Chain A
Amino acid sequence: MIPLARLLAKRLATSLIVLIGVSMLIFAIARIIPGDPARIALGPNATAEQIADLRAELHLDDHIVVQYGHFIADVARGDLGISLYTNRPVTADIALYLPATLELVLVAGVMMVGIGLPLGIWSARWRGRAADNIIRLISLLGVSAPSFVWAVILMLLFAFYLPLFPIAGRISDTYAISSVTGFLLVDTLLQGDIRAFGNAAWHIVLPAFALALSGIGQAARLTRANMVETYDKPYIEMARSYGFPARRIANHYAFRPSLIPSLTIIGLDFAAMLGNAFLVEAIFAWPGLSRYGVAVILRKDLNAIVGTVLIISATFLLVNIIVDLLIALLNPRIRYSQRPA
């Protein structure tokens, strides 16, 4: 499938350009925030020489363009510098915290697609009936409050008043899981510990659902709207006139063409969950990138700020590439087009 490979290559190339732009921007912004990172890192008792030494070590006295040159040279070697907050390589910190956040976002994404799309399909199929009205009400509720509000509400309802789920954390302390991928749901299975897996899954349900709720609502509403439009197309009337089963018309003949326009937005919503995850993580004490990110920004930990933002941007871009490829896979017109998609 040559056109797909070409699409992928083109998307990767533009993503690289975007990443370079993002790095310049965040590099400059991080240095504009008031405060001397060396002084903050060394604390109030540091001498002037110590501060001057650290500034020299961090190249802080050079021109910003020269600084950026140093930074890019390091990045090319896979080095994002040392965090002044943890005194460890930023890459190591990110490797430690990112998987928890990604795990949360991925599970929320699966919920968004796995719950939102079927709700949208049912809603469109039973348009105007009771099921449709109930689903529309639920999805409106979902989109009308931000995820951190849902996080608090869900936590109060299902972890506090009705203690069905754990109130915080990723897994109970009684389980010792050696980190291989950093994804607890994967590591527990690798270790063959089903009970630990169940425990980790039990912990992730509430935060992931809180994070996913607005996406579920959005996905259901989009799918419904696009499908209602598709239901008026001649090819649906044709499918009906041939007596194709109503379920097959809904799930295939009407859903597939409707999914294509929805998918771009769903992809963006999914990527936006990375940002929303920060607040949900804070509420559920989820040991992800959020606590790290907030701490390094407050401490003006330049390397860590730039590193964190770059990783999140890269993830965002990756999601977009995946969505573009999915759309191309679903839409034969794009797949077989020789023109740029």
Chain B
Amino acid sequence: MSTPTLDIQNLTLGFKGYTGFTEVLHGISLSVNPGERVALVGESGSGKSVTARIVLGLLQELRTARIGGSVRFEGRELDQLSRRERHALRGKAMSMIFQDPTSSLNPVFRIGDQFHDVLRRADPAISRDAALERAAAILAEVSVRDAERVLNAFPFQLSGGLNQRVMIAMALANEPALLIADEPGTALDVTVQAQTLHLMRKLVEEHHTAVLFISHNLGVVREFADRVYVIYKGRIVEQGATRAVFEDARHPYTRALMAAVPRLTGGGIPDIEENSPDFGAPLEIHDAEARA
């Protein structure tokens, strides 16, 4: 088996604050293979987003953060890379899509100029015209027809769905090996979110991009991911192939999470306990033998 694109082993994260040390990740392990779409599912505050930011190397710059364990990207231990090497990965080998496309694009620069900066990460000498041409080609892949107007526009002049396509196009522009999608399109309405996710899926399949997909939306995860990790309070509680986890949820927290999905048939939202002792049950691994 080839080296996984992303391999996290026993990752811990804590913050040193005025009131002492708070640990938020208690040793999580997950891996994403080349071209694989892996979802990290959990409630708000479970540690999904900080995991993504550690992979990108953003949290390492925070002086209060204490990070332990190992994060390997394409076989290279991130911790042992120099600042410069780690910085070089960002935007080239790995990129990220954020929750709210409109507020993630700079309001006072044209889309085209921001695209230029993104493309400059891979080719520092690229001219503005060449960048716009390349951007238009990538935008066409996410079904943006009037690329010229979009590139000449400011983010506030475009719809949320269009901005999201721009974000997807930017994220994949430099052909990264790993795409991290942090609750993509959560700020959009459901139909637009579904459309853009469909486009994203099409693109990552074509480009054979590995995806770490972070979400609390089980429906979306079921559609999108090959494998799922369920995270609860800084611990992975269940992992396995998407189908296996959804059809045979074993961990009490996973079951509670699935029960919490609102149904079209009504019946209200079921009570979930804030903190059940069951949720602390040990990790459930589906098809463990295949993973080893």
Contact = CB atoms under 8 A, between A and B. Distances in A.
Interface of A: 233-235, 237-244, 248, 252-253, 256-257, 260, 330-333, 336
B156 A333 contact: yes
Contact of B157 (A238, A244, A336): A336
Nearest to A256: B108
Given A256-B108, A260-B108, A243 B96 contact: no
Contacts of A234: 98-100, 103-104
A333 B107 contact: yes
Contacts of A253: 106, 109
Given A257-B106, A260-B108, A331-B108, A237 B117 contact: no
A242 B95 contact: yes
Interface of B: 56, 58, 87-92, 95-96, 98-100, 103-109, 117-118, 121, 154, 156-157, 170
Contacts of A238: 96, 98, 104-105
Contacts of B88: 243
27 contacts: A234-B98, A234-B100, A234-B103, A234-B104, A238-B96, A238-B98, A238-B104, A238-B105, A241-B58, A241-B90, A241-B98, A242-B90, A242-B91, A242-B96, A242-B117, A243-B87, A243-B88, A243-B92, A244-B117, A244-B121, A252-B109, A256-B106, A257-B106, A330-B108, A332-B108, A332-B156, A333-B156
B107 A257 contact: yes
- Binding site of B, secondary structure by majority: helix, strand, loop or mixed? mixed
What 7 pairs across the A-B complex have the smallest Cβ distances? A243-B90, A242-B91, A243-B91, A241-B96, A238-B104, A235-B106, A332-B154
Contacts of A248: 117
Contact of A241 (B95, B106, B156, B157): B95
B141 to A, nearest CB: 19
A243 B91 CA distance: 6
Contacts of B109: 252-253, 256
Contacts of B156: 332-333
A246 to B, nearest CB: 9
Of residues B103, B117, B154, which shows the largest number of chain A Cβ atoms within 10 Å of its Cβ? B117
Contacts of B107: 235, 257, 332-333
A236 to B, nearest CB: 8
Contacts of A256: 106, 108-109
A235 B118 CA distance: 13
A235 B58 contact: no
Nearest to A254: B106
Contact of A257 (B90, B95, B108, B121): B108
Nearest to A330: B108
A206 B100 CA distance: 50
A243 B121 contact: yes
A144 B170 CA distance: 47
Given A234-B98, A238-B98, A243-B89, 7 more contacts: A240-B58, A242-B96, A242-B121, A243-B92, A244-B91, A332-B107, A336-B157
